[in-house]
Amino acid sequence: MPDTDVGPAGSPDRAAHVDREADTMIQMLTPEGERPEPTGAALEYAAYVEDVTDDDLRGMYRDMVIVRRFDAEATALQRQGELGLWASLLGQEAAQVGSGRALRPQDFAYPTYREHGVAWCRGVPPTALLGLYRGASLGGWDPAEHGFALYTIVIGSQTLHATGYAMGVQRDHAVGTGEPDRDAAVIAYLGDGATSQGDVSEALVFSAVYNAPVVFFCQNNQWAISEPNTRQTRVPLFKRSSGFGIPGVRVDGNDVLATLAVTRAATERARSGGGPTFVEAYTYRMGAHTTSDDPSRYRIAAEVEEWKLKDPIARVKAYLARSGAADEDFFAEVEAEAKQIATELRVTCRALPDPPPESMFDDVYAEPHAVLDAEREEYLAYRAGFADDTEEVRT
């Protein structure tokens, strides 16, 4: 049944539809924080997290708490005029930390503009992200150093960049060698709204035809700004990739353990030469699309309250507490650390220097470029003339 025919959020028909769809969704940690024996589709992926220890789970919990605190601080900074804009990840911490932790050092990630949790996992300083949204830099980090490309604002275009890079990895013979430190995977992050873009379809075509080592990690947060997912597609997103010859899988995007397992499986498939995979991480954007958006104008409060019960951090905390893997002292330490990081970040962000305007010409090309050099000189001459005019007015 197409999603458009199942009724509004909260209706019995939609609830039944969601229950049927849940049968195909990989989940390993329930919203109540229970870790049941894997059954059904989850059995296939259970082996990918057999080595996950309590210490690993505590680490993932710590990552998610810090990222959420950082995200809240960035939102506050924007409200106070310190940032031009901010795209919150609230509610999507598990999808990003789980997939980010599945990557190896030689892998490469292509984000949109919301992958703050993946950036954290790849070692990108949070200040660098704030510098971009403050207008103090054009990126602020070295993509090669972190295996993490610069944020992409143009919806879906990064999937083409990822596919091209993955084809390059193939030609560098860094796929299917069996060497754990050599074989590499590429992961392209995208949202549900991006699947309606032509660029994404082209990326799926090329990656399938060339069997490129790329994972398309789609965070289906249910809303493409104000457009609900039900108006974007007639079938679940993960089923659309089969038309391109790419296997698709749906995972509970609020389950960090399941997300880790599915991403590990997909990236290992890519590294071994198995080709692309499409992952739909079923999650929810609990905040606004960006700080320029007011979601109360297009979605009902009951829907948000329903998803709060599936909070990705609360379920890990419940599991750690129930299993005895963590106590109140641990949770308090993590909260204190997150608060300290946010405090330091606020100070650092406000102290970021304004860059000289002509720096917009920097880092466009790897090598000197005659046209760009001429444009820079023309701009400098223009600015110098403006300064003279200002001086004349003063005198």
For residue 171 the two structure tokens come to: 């030609």
List of residues 6+ apart from 51 with CB closer than 8 A: none
| DSSP state, residue 193 | G
Catalytic residue among 146, 289, 315, 319: 289
Please list the residues that pair with 25 across neighbouring strands.
Answer: 250
Say which residue the tokens 């597609």 belong to.
233
Rounded Cα gap, residues 270 and 273, in angstroms: 5
The catalytically annotated residue of 298, 369, 382, 383 is 298
Q: Which long-range contacts (CB under 8 A, 24 or more apart) does 127-133 make?
A: 127/345, 127/348, 127/349, 127/352, 129/74, 130/74, 130/77, 130/83, 130/345, 130/348, 130/349, 130/352, 131/349, 131/352, 133/74, 133/78, 133/83, 133/84, 133/85, 133/86
Q: Is 307 left (phi over 0), alpha (psi -120 to 50) or beta?
A: alpha
369 is catalytic: no
Active site residue 285: yes
Among the listed residues 246, 316, 312, 245, the one whose alpha carbon sits nearest the alpha carbon of residue 280: 246
Q: Quick check: 149 and 143 in contact, CB under 8 A?
A: yes
* Integer Cα distance of 102 and 98 in angstroms: 7
385's CB contacts (< 8 A; 6+ apart) are: none
Residue with tokens 């972190």: 146
State how far the alpha carbon of 49 is from the alpha carbons of 46, 99, 224, in Å: 6, 13, 32
Q: Is the dihedral of CA 360, 365, 367, 373 positive or negative?
A: negative
Radius of gyration of the chain from its Cα atoms, rounded to whole angstroms = 22
113 is known as an active-site residue: no
Which residues are catalytically annotated?
A: 285, 289, 298
